[in-house]
Chains A and B, each alone.
Chain A
Amino acid sequence: MSVATAKVLPGRARSRGAVRSPGGALGLGVATLWLSVIVLLPLAAVVVASLDGGLGAFWHAVSGRQAVAALRFTIVVSLVVATANAVMGTLIAWVLVRDPFPGRRIVNAVIDLPFALPTIVAGITLLALYGPTSPIGVNVAFTQASVAFALLFVTLPFGVRAVQPVLLELDREMEHAAASLGASATATFRRIVLPNLVPAILSGAALSFARAVGEFGSVVLISGNKPFDTQVTSVFVFKQVESDNATGAAAVAVVLLAVSLAVLLGLRVIERWGSRHDR
């Protein structure tokens, strides 16, 4: 449905789902072009680089024991972190939006700081707090848990900020209706509110996952980079680059990207399946 048609016959009823945004097809074209130049082209360069030594070299690079261990650890810890963010992010967003507690504004302002703080500062701070000289007695440095801590810090804004704007726009009438019909707070939440939040929660989880698998700076100091133990894929890739093995680095990066793409796609499918009843 072109924009020209829309302008010439404004009163004509349009089929549901037609692109009505300004510049319809043009918008799609521009968005795709932007995505391609900024993201897809560089990634294509990485894919090409990974095949520099042929498929044999590619396979050799990604099937090495260290590579596999790093990939497995990275995926698992990132899934854990994404789940934690889905749950806690929703909870925190709920408290921030619906519960006017003293200091709410300050807490709300601080949520984005993990993004703004350079990863080296996050690294040093986390090491100071959760390492050998921890003032609160929590010493998880150089363990797998430390990686989770660092990732939770770095991905926290995703979980919260994904749900917050949706909560703010949520139509409260249905909740009031449910309450006046006698539904408990929990039931109302579970049956009325939650289904509306699911796309946002999954969106936040997807972003958390994606960020977690790629995170480097804040993890690298506190994890100790122990191969087969606390080494994440991004550090392994860094190792390959530093050892002048850009091909191997690209190969592992491509595998991580493929796995991430699969997980992200999976999350989107769940999201669609879950909100199917909406339409």
Chain B
Amino acid sequence: MTARPSGRLALRLVALGYLALILLVPVAVVLVRTFEPGLGEVRASITTPAAIHAFWLTIELAAIAVPLNTAFGIVTALVLVRGEVRGKRVLEALIDLPFAVSPVVVGLALVLLYGRVGWFGPWLAEHGIQIVFSVPGMVLATIFVTLPFVVREVAPVLREVGDDQEQAAATLGASAWQTFRRITLPAIRWGVAYGVVLSTARAIGEFGAVSVVSGKISGETVTLPLLVEQRFTNFDLAGAYAASALLALIALATLLAMTVLHRRGDAA
């Protein structure tokens, strides 16, 4: 579609103007504040034992939650878009729910289930399993808050590309798995890629829900966002910004990785 140059420019200005006000300026402020004390300070800030541990813990949580939710997301999107399921709309709405749940409530819910006096509490205590106030609880919280992303990104794309090619493949004798791997998956790659990017960004940046179930045990259950809050509380604003910048870096790296993988997929 060839829009008039002036129309295109107007759109660009509106988009960038909005982005500047809502997004770019705040992000720029974060960057400026991060590097204000100087590069050396920033490096020292992100290489303390606490920061290093928080970094790896954050990555660990994302590395578990995101692939699981990606698999769930693709399967569910396929079921929702291609399948005949009664009550599809209700299922779809339910899938969106995790976001609507305030982080405090997520934490509350997990403690209600797996806490000392929770539904499974006594059983867990009997078997010496610690879920809340330990990493498993944090994994559950992270999975909870990132659940809908991949479904929501893949479903519209699936709908858009249609199932003509898949039907053709089926009539040519391809098995369901072959159809999926060679026709469907490549078609939804951008949806999956952005779903993964968003899930990862959310997983690493999640604060509220993880905060309630983590127990904030220094060196054990403190993620980068929790470290940011701790540093803020201890008047180490520079350190808080530095840790945030690290998180932003991870998000950017994920986007880069997805873009590169997508390009390679294109070339293959």
Whether A and B are associated in the same complex: the answer reads yes
Chain A residues proximal to chain B, CB less than 8 Å: 3, 6-7, 10-11, 13-14, 17-24, 27-28, 30-32, 34-35, 38-43, 45-46, 48-49, 88, 91-92, 94-96, 98-99, 101, 107-122, 124-126, 128-129, 136, 149, 152-153, 156-157, 161-162, 164-166, 168-170, 172, 175-176, 178-179, 185, 188-189, 193, 196, 199-200, 203, 206-207, 209-211, 213-217, 233-234, 237-238, 241, 246, 249-250, 253, 256-257, 260-261, 264-265, 268-269, 272, 275
Interface of chain B, main secondary structure: helix
B35 on the A face (CB < 8 A)? no
Among A30, A39, A91, A121, the residue within 8 A (CB) of B30 is: A121
Evaluate contact between B97 and A39: CB separation under 8 angstroms: yes
- Chain B, interface residues (CB within 8 Å), range: 35 or more
Chain B 74-92 per-residue mask, 1 if CB under 8 angstroms from chain A, else 0: 0110110011110001111
Evaluate contact between B247 and A214: CB separation under 8 angstroms: no
List 20 A-B residue pairs with CB atoms under 8 Å apart, sorted by A's residue number. Answer: A3-B176, A6-B176, A18-B84, A21-B176, A35-B147, A39-B98, A46-B105, A49-B108, A92-B15, A115-B202, A118-B228, A128-B29, A164-B190, A164-B194, A166-B191, A214-B101, A216-B102, A217-B103, A261-B94, A265-B90
In the bound complex, residues from chain B placing their C-beta under 8 Å from that of A129 are: 25-26, 29
B140 on the A face (CB < 8 A)? yes
Q: How many A-B residue pairs have CB under 8 A?
A: 341
Q: Which of B3-11, B42-50, B122-130, B214-222 contacts A (4 or more CB under 8 A)?
A: B3-11
Among B7, B85, B102, B159, the residue within 8 A (CB) of A234 is: B102
A169 to B23, CA, bound (A): 26
Among B2, B75, B104, B240, the residue within 8 A (CB) of A31 is: B75
In the bound complex, residues from chain A placing their C-beta under 8 Å from that of B143 are: 38
- CB B245 to nearest CB in A, in angstroms, measures 9
- CB A184 to nearest CB in B, in angstroms, measures 9
Chain B residue, CB-CB nearest to A208? B99
In the bound complex, residues from chain B placing their C-beta under 8 Å from that of A175 are: 1
In the bound complex, residues from chain B placing their C-beta under 8 Å from that of A31 are: 72, 75-76, 79
Q: Given contacts A21-B75, A113-B248, A169-B190, are A199 and B103 in contact (CB under 8 A)?
A: no
- CB A274 to nearest CB in B, in angstroms, measures 12
